[in-house]
């Protein structure tokens, strides 16, 4: 009898735990009225609003344009030919669509940090937001460590231009000394990370000043490179334009897509923007358009200067100018690469700390991450933590071997943001919030659309029958039609993404198409990290998170008056 009671108690306890888990996982961040925003802005929890629209544009450019503009353009051109210009154009057009979705949500939630995490928390639920954070954060941590090592290597390369340093700098200082294939000692990379972390801890004004200077420097260098290279172009090198066929151009587009990522950093600076309602969409769209123009210009120059099959692998742009007797331009390219890597790393560290800040405020992480220094108005604890993680990884590990599992978080975040645009527009025919059954149907359609995108990408990658590929596209079109005709959509306050839900549906499909192009280990990483994050949420997050607590930041919906 006692055994039966014990069994019933155990079953009841298990049922109660599961019930609590799901009720917590499915709760969403409530939207508060605009009148409550003043309380948040006058609170010590707030950050300092010091970023102008120009600062935001430079922030987006700084995050996107790194050394990749001097390397990726050439390496992809070796496989694609002069058609690499079209690859960058297609990838840029795809990113513009994603940026339109980001711009609407940044305008709708202009008050606070959080980006894709915040949007998922409000549009869907707590667990989805936590999973998005996990995928994004692993990308950011590995990316920061990798960029820091590349920056250290470039700094040493420039120092070695001086005779006193040439061949006198040990590999373990800047280039990295491999030990057993996994460990790789690098002293300079953590030093650079500590310096940038200290600058970020000083305040957003100081870090923005450094980012602006470095970004302007590298943009000027890129424009100069394009201008000088234009006089060395031989148009005969552009023929044949697509030597490896049209498919190589589309494959190239999936590769260079990641050269544009970074404009989401602007959305994460919402709480530090002077006029977020107006400036955030401008910063996102303008920075991306500048990046597209620069990439296309470099592609045209590099493929016009040297036949594509003779482009170098490690430093194609620098080698192209050296082959033309313009070695001084190669030196400028190295300086531009240092400036580009510095801004990319600076903005990456900045974004990471703001994401930790958002989760600390919501209770999904310990409250120490939510603390903001009252004097400098920066999340120093979050910033130091981010710097420590990046420094350890950059100083001890060969993070380049992890590069093939990168971009999972970026594509996941972009897909979720596009889905959030659709979900936040749903309403019923009377204009009030959509019914639970309508939302469930809409969510099912969004999931089906993502699956179709992944299946289409998988079939395309492995050259499967065109019939199966066409079938996946047809199902995606039918799902998009269901989203369009079976749901009712409200107008968005502030900046409005056009052609909702069709344009966000294209984003979800294409992002998951690109997801399928990643190395299979990236898929394994996605599944394993999701399982780990669910475990962390089950142990800690579900008990400490409180989206409606007065201690958390207030997220406000934009009023019609503010939208003007």
Is the pLDDT at 301 greater than 90? The verdict is yes
| Per-residue pLDDT at 46 | 61
Per-residue pLDDT band for 331 (boundaries 50, 70, 90) equals confident
Is the pLDDT at 549 greater than 60? The verdict is no
| Per-residue pLDDT at 231 | 92
| Per-residue pLDDT at 383 | 96
The mean pLDDT value for 326-348 works out to: 90
Is the pLDDT at 310 greater than 90? The verdict is no
The mean pLDDT value for 78-95 works out to: 91
State pTM to two decimals.
0.89
3-state DSSP assignment of residue 184? strand
User: When comparing pLDDT for 431 and 455, which is higher?
Assistant: 455
The mean pLDDT value for 389-407 works out to: 83
Q: Lowest mean pLDDT: which of 129-143, 169-183, 544-558?
A: 544-558
| Per-residue pLDDT at 12 | 66
Is the pLDDT at 33 greater than 80? The verdict is no
Q: Lowest mean pLDDT: which of 15-19, 437-441, 500-504?
A: 15-19
Per-residue pLDDT band for 564 (boundaries 50, 70, 90) equals very low
| Per-residue pLDDT at 164 | 85
Is the pLDDT at 110 greater than 50? The verdict is yes
> Which long-range contacts does 454-462 make (Cβ < 8 Å, 24+ apart)?
454/512, 454/513, 454/515, 454/516, 455/516, 456/509, 456/513, 456/516, 457/512, 457/513, 457/514, 457/515, 457/516, 457/517, 458/516, 460/513, 460/516, 461/516, 461/517
The mean pLDDT value for 314-336 works out to: 86
Is the pLDDT at 113 greater than 80? The verdict is no
Given the DSSP bridges, would you call strands 426-427 and 488-489 parallel, antiparallel or unpaired? antiparallel
Is the pLDDT at 554 greater than 70? The verdict is no
Interval 117-141: pLDDT, tens: 999 999 999 999 999 999 999 999 9
Asked if 426 and 489 touch (Cβ cutoff 8 Å), the reply is yes
Q: Lowest mean pLDDT: which of 135-149, 150-164, 169-183, 478-492?
A: 169-183
DSSP symbols for 132-174: HHHHHHHHHHHHHHHHHHHHHHHHHHHHTTSTTTTTTS-TTTT
pLDDT over 70 percentage in the chain: 90
| Per-residue pLDDT at 32 | 55
Q: Lowest mean pLDDT: which of 33-37, 207-211, 316-320, 384-388?
A: 33-37
């Amino acid at each position: 009898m006692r055994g039966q009671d014990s069994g019933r108690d155990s079953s009841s306890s298990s049922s109660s735990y599961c019930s609590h888990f799901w009720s917590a996982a499915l709760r969403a961040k409530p939207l508060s009225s605009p009148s409550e925003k003043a309380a948040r802005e006058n609170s010590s929890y707030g950050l300092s609003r010091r970023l102008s629209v120009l600062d935001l544009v430079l922030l987006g450019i700084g995050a996107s344009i790194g050394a990749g503009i001097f390397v990726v353009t050439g390496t992809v051109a070796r496989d694609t030919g002069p058609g690499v210009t079209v690859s960058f154009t297609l990838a840029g057009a795809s990113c513009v669509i994603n940026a339109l979705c980001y711009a609407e949500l940044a305008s709708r939630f202009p008050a606070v940090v959080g980006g894709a995490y915040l949007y998922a928390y409000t549009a869907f639920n707590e667990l989805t937001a936590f999973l998005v954070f996990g995928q994004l954060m692993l990308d950011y941590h590995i990316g920061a460590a990798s960029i820091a090592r590349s920056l250290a290597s470039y700094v040493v390369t420039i120092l070695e231009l001086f005779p006193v340093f040439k061949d006198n700098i040990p590999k373990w200082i800047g280039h990295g000394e491999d030990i057993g294939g996994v460990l790789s000692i690098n002293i300079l990379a953590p030093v650079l990370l500590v310096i940038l972390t200290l600058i970020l801890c000083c305040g957003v004004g100081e870090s923005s000043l450094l980012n602006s200077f470095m970004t302007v420097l590298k943009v000027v260098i890129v424009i100069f490179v394009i201008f000088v290279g234009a006089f060395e172009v031989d148009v005969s090198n552009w023929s044949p334009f697509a030597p490896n066929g049209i498919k190589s151009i589309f494959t190239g587009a999936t590769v260079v897509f990641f050269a544009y990522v970074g404009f989401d950093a602007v959305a994460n600076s919402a709480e530090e923007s002077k006029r977020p309602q107006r400036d955030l969409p401008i910063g996102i769209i303008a920075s991306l358009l500048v990046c597209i123009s620069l990439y296309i210009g470099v592609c045209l120059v590099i493929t016009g200067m040297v036949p594509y099959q003779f482009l170098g692998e490690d430093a194609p742009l620098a080698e192209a100018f050296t082959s033309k007797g313009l070695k001084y331009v190669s030196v400028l390219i190295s300086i531009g690469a240092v400036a580009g890597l510095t801004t990319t790393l600076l903005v990456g560290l900045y974004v990471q700390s703001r994401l930790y800040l958002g989760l600390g405020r919501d209770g999904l992480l310990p409250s120490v991450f939510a603390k903001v220094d009252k004097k400098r108005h920066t999340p120093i604890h979050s910033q130091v933590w981010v710097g420590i993680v990046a420094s350890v990884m950059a100083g001890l590990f060969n993070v380049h071997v992890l590069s093939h599992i990168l971009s999972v978080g970026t594509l996941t975040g972009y897909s979720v943001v596009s889905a959030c645009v659709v979900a936040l527009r749903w309403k019923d025919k009377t204009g009030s919030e959509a019914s639970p059954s309508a939302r469930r149907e809409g969510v099912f359609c969004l999931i089906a659309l993502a699956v179709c995108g992944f299946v289409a990408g998988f079939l395309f990658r492995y050259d499967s029958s065109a019939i199966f590929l066409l079938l996946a596209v047809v199902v995606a079109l039918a799902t998009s039609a269901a989203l369009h005709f079976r749901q009712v959509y409200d107008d968005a306050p502030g900046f409005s993404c056009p052609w909702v839900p069709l344009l966000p549906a294209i984003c979800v499909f294409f992002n998951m198409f690109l997801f399928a192009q990643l190395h299979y280990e990236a898929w394994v990483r996605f599944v394993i990290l999701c399982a780990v994050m669910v475990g962390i949420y089950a142990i800690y997050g579900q008990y400490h998170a409180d989206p409606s607590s007065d201690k958390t930041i207030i997220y406000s919906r934009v009023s019609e008056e503010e939208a003007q």
